[in-house]
Amino acid sequence: MKRQAAELGRIRTGYSRPNPDPTKGNIPVKSKTFVLTSHSRDYVAAAAELYGGKVEQWTPQRQSVAQWRVITKATEMQAILPAGDPLSQSYEMWTGGGCARRCDGITDSVSGSPCVCLAKYGEDWHERKPDQVCRPTSRIGVFLADMPDLGVWRLETKSYYAADALAGGLDTVLQATGGKGLLPVRMWIEQRTAVRNGKTKQFQVVMLVPALPKLRHALSGPISTAAALDPASLDRPAIEAAPAEPINYRDEAIKCRTSEQVLQLWQRARAEGHADDHVLRDDLKRIADDIGKGIDTQTGEDHGDDEQGPDDEGVYDGEVIEDGEQDDEPPATYPPASWPAAAVPGGGR
């Protein structure tokens, strides 16, 4: 079973208006702006706030369940293509009973028979009226990053020319990315004309191109999710790391406690490119010599002689002067406890 995101609504390029003749159906109208429809009023209200337009209730043709729609003021939309191949194309004919035919131009997948339109009208069958032949139907699901909830909005068009424009652009991108990862895209409705058999035909197509700063970003493979949400970040210069604060080897040497530690510090300085700094070498050597002589490198005091002279009273450090002779042990605060003579065990009569 194919896995796919939930469909939140649809993106359309047309709408219908009431027919003055009540006996006939609504009249289809090509829209110059995008139309968003959904079963959820909240989604359509969010779209109206984002893209402009008025929320209104609407019932699709040949259906009885009412939906909500907004004819936006947006001629262009930003969207994100999901991973995989999001484009589905086929030739379809719909009736009141649903999809009667769905064909790839060779075989009808509904009945399993060969293409009816090709057999009946030849290779130019697509120039026939829409009610006579299957219509080229293109569907593509996209994410709208600024809309609520996780799900796709389905863009659907039944234009023969739009089918070519959509497929051509997507095939180029999918060939580069392999369908892996998200891809930001830009969509807009473009009005075009074409001359066929001496007649000028006006039509509209939905253009869909990668919304990236440069073409090389679209062709260099998949991009990150963060870049898909903010394509401009792909063209921003990288933030350089702040330079490391230089080491003051003299200050570090003064903090050392042994000459060996100072030697290790000099070896580190040499490894970091200070081998030719003779002044630094001599300073560290002097500090190491001072430490070896017992000189406190932070205060400059000489602690090389362990023995100190007597103080003003003629007493050396650590010497205790006693007043008179003393017992080997100090007197106890309380006399030692002893048994009374009459209570000595075995001494009673």
What local confidence, expressed as pLDDT, does residue 28 receive? 82
DSSP 232: G
pLDDT of residue 256: 87
pLDDT of residue 227: 83
Domains of the chain, by residue range, sit at: 7-234, 249-292
pLDDT of residue 71: 95
| Token representation of residue 288 | 């190491």
Q: Report the candidate in 162, 150, 167 with the shortest Cα–Cα distance to residue 14.
A: 162
226 close to 184: Cβ distance less than 8 angstroms: no
CA distances from 157 to 40, 66, 299 (A): 22, 21, 86
Neighbours of 181 (CB within 10 A): 16
Please give the model's pTM, rounded to 2 decimal places: 0.62
Q: Which two tokens stand for residue 106?
A: 């060779």
At residue 31, the 3 state secondary structure works out as strand
Please, which residues bridge with residue 28 across strands? 16
Other CB atoms within 10 Å distance of the CB of residue 297: 18
Cα separation of 328 and 320, whole Å? 15
Query: What integer pLDDT is reported at residue 67 of this predicted model?
Result: 93
Q: Which residue in this structure is represented by tokens 């790839």?
A: 104
Q: How far is Cα 169 from Cα 14, in angstroms, rounded to an integer?
A: 22
The strand pair at 55-58 and 98-103 is best described as unpaired
Per-residue confidence (pLDDT) for residue 315, from 0 to 100: 54
Give me the pLDDT at residue 299, please.
74
In order along the chain (349 residues), what is the average pLDDT of each group of 10 residues?
A: 80 85 81 94 96 91 85 94 85 84 89 88 81 87 92 86 75 75 88 80 82 80 83 72 76 86 86 82 86 78 58 53 50 43 47
In this prediction, residue 76 carries a pLDDT of 94
Q: Which helix (H) or strand (E) holds 166?
A: helix 160-177
Using an 8 Å Cβ cutoff, are 105 and 136 in contact? no
